Structure 1
Amino acid sequence: MKPIVIRCPVKGRWSFLNPPGHHPDAKDFVAVDDNAKPYQGIALLKHLFGRLKVSEVFSWKAPVFAPFDGSIIKVENACEDRQRLSLISDVYSGLFLGKQEYAEHANEFFGNHIIMQSNHGIYALFAHLKKGSVQVKQGDKIKTGNPLASIGNSGNSIQPHLHFHLMQENEPLTSVPLPFVFSAYELQNDRLWRKEKNTLPKNRRVFRVVDGA
């Protein structure tokens, strides 16, 4: 299938994680600094020993935007965010205890989430949003770039991030993710930012999205 062209749903500097078993067309967005780190360097020790606060992660509370025109199909906004992170136990839970087949319903796995349908019939899932941050409701008509919510740490989440994928059916636990590309973003090369169009950054490659992209 030809990749679907969308506007990137976040702004700023980001990278894609690629956890084991993750579908290649489902992306985990993580905000990073100039050194491609998701938090200040010293915070790694706190993360290992379960003392890292979600507020120390750059992705926490970052705004999420609509990647296309469409309408809101579903909203979940009441799941709690885990406030402290422990890398070892969270990875164990994410890889074993938190697999999709063990989740009884979408809220358990995706936490606070939005499902949006484009005017062309494609669905988008935005997952692990911050409790109470969702700014839209079911039935709302949305324009590209409208703010939707903020990134949180709800559901089966190792650290604050945005899980995003496209699908043909409104079945986020079972639908196969569809390929997509960004209409515009920037990649850094020799300390210079280069504009890219209708492509997608590779996993763990730092990219940037600015206003108007």
Structure 2
Amino acid sequence: MRYLLLTLFLASSFFSYSQYEPENIRAVATEFQNCYNNTDDRGIYNMFDKVMKTFLSPENTSEFMDEVRSGFGLIEKMKYSGTYNSAHVYSTTFEKGKSDIYFNLSSQNQIGSWFIPRNRAENAPRLERNTTEMIFPFKEEAFVYWGGEKRDINYHMEDLNQQYAYDILMVANGAPYNGDPEKNESFFVFGKDIMAPCDARVYKVIDGIQDNRPGEVNTENLTGNTIILQTVKNEYLLFAHIKHNSIQVKEGELVKQGQVIAQCGNSGNTTQAHLHLQLQNTPDLYNTIGAKLYFKEIQVNGEIRKDYMPVKEDFVKNTGSFK
């Protein structure tokens, strides 16, 4: 997703405890702290890159910051802790407690993604991976276009909010489509059923967004038609770029593992049909940390793998059958 240029392109996580703090990062942190403590929420909004501004309006930014101030008070000190994958981390002392703040910066030193806990629940230990058992979300074999823990095989690792995410499509004879590449229906994955990987509650639904013509993108609705599921362990699964008018569930509904919840589409900021799937620690699109998503038992390149996290160019299917 973030936001996919799929037609243009067919490390293990680490935490550095180095105390070296790049000057540009320090400048951003100092500006953020000053704006935050002075309730200059417009100033914080002006620190965002274009994509971040798509997710958070000035009004949303102010509401978000008010939640943080209500939960933790003003910032007393921000100490650089190092990096977590692509994000810079500050151990932050607030008036009412301590928390880590994560920033991703663009090449122009603008905030491209972040994670800032708003309350004690969100200030829990970072979600590293799922403990809920998951099945693969397609009935048929599918192809992992982006996936894994290293940037060279998963460009999502450049973004804190999407790290470890998958982009999944279907291919035959080395191609994702057959026929006219300007028609969504030519793409093998378009219209395929998407299943719930586990029992869960439907936390959020975004619907009503038209599918793009292949090669075009929708920069106003980045995730397109979207579903977010919440597990009983408060893990959140995000499904993006869903087909227009295919969502079969409603917010608050309880779904069962293997239940069809939607169909794969080409909505949002993407150039061709695929499923963007990720695990995250909150239900937000803009204030979350991506986590590793493992599947209980799947067939990978013809071999059975258990508790496996697929990587780029894996052919994956469930070991069980689903109607």
TM-score by length of 2: 0.53
Is the partner of 2:299 in helix, strand or coil? strand
Deviation at 1:210, TM superposition (A): 4.9
Deviation at 1:176, TM superposition (A): 1.6
Separation in structure 1 between the aligned mates of residue 185 and residue 295 of structure 2, nearest angstrom: 28
Deviation at 1:209, TM superposition (A): 2.6
Using CA pairs under 8 Å that are at least 6 residues apart, name the structure with larger relative contact order, 1 or 2: 1
Asked if 1:11 corresponds to 2:120, the answer is no
- Counterpart of 1:209 in structure 2 is 318
Deviations 1:151-192 (A, max 9, x none): 11111112111111111111123312110111121123xxxx
- Counterpart of 1:61 in structure 2 is 191
Aligned pair in 2 of structure 1 residues 36, 176: CA closer, same or farther (>3 Å)? farther
Is the partner of 2:222 in helix, strand or coil? helix
Tell me the amino acid that sits aligned with residue 199 of structure 1.
Y
Runs of at least 5 residues in structure 2 that lack an aligned partner in the other structure: 1-126, 147-152, 158-162
Deviation at 1:194, TM superposition (A): 1.7
**Contact kept? 2:128, 2:291, Cα under 8 Å:** no
Asked if 1:153 corresponds to 2:266, the answer is yes
Instruction: Kindly tell me the number of residue pairs found equivalent between the two proteins.
Output: 183
Moved more, 167-176 or 58-67: 167-176
Runs of at least 5 residues in structure 1 that lack an aligned partner in the other structure: none
Percent identity for Structure 1 against Structure 2: 27
Q: Once superposed, which parts of structure 1, at least 4 consecutive aligned residues long, lie more than 6 Å away?
A: none
TM-score by length of 1: 0.78
Is the partner of 1:153 in helix, strand or coil? coil
Is the partner of 2:138 in helix, strand or coil? coil
Aligned pairs for 1:1-213 within 5 A: 2-4=128-130, 5-18=133-146, 21-23=155-157, 24-33=163-172, 35-40=173-178, 43=179, 47=181, 52-82=182-212, 84-86=213-215, 90=216, 98=219, 108-188=221-301, 193-212=302-321
Separation in structure 1 between the aligned mates of residue 270 and residue 278 of structure 2, nearest angstrom: 15
Separation in structure 2 between the aligned mates of residue 132 and residue 2 of structure 1, nearest angstrom: 33
**Contact kept? 1:129, 1:151, Cα under 8 Å:** yes
**Contact kept? 2:298, 2:304, Cα under 8 Å:** yes
Is the partner of 2:286 in helix, strand or coil? coil
Deviations 1:62-85 (A, max 9, x none): 101111111111112200111x32
**Contact kept? 2:280, 2:290, Cα under 8 Å:** yes
Moved more, 10-19 or 176-185: 10-19
**Contact kept? 1:12, 1:210, Cα under 8 Å:** no
Is the partner of 1:164 in helix, strand or coil? strand
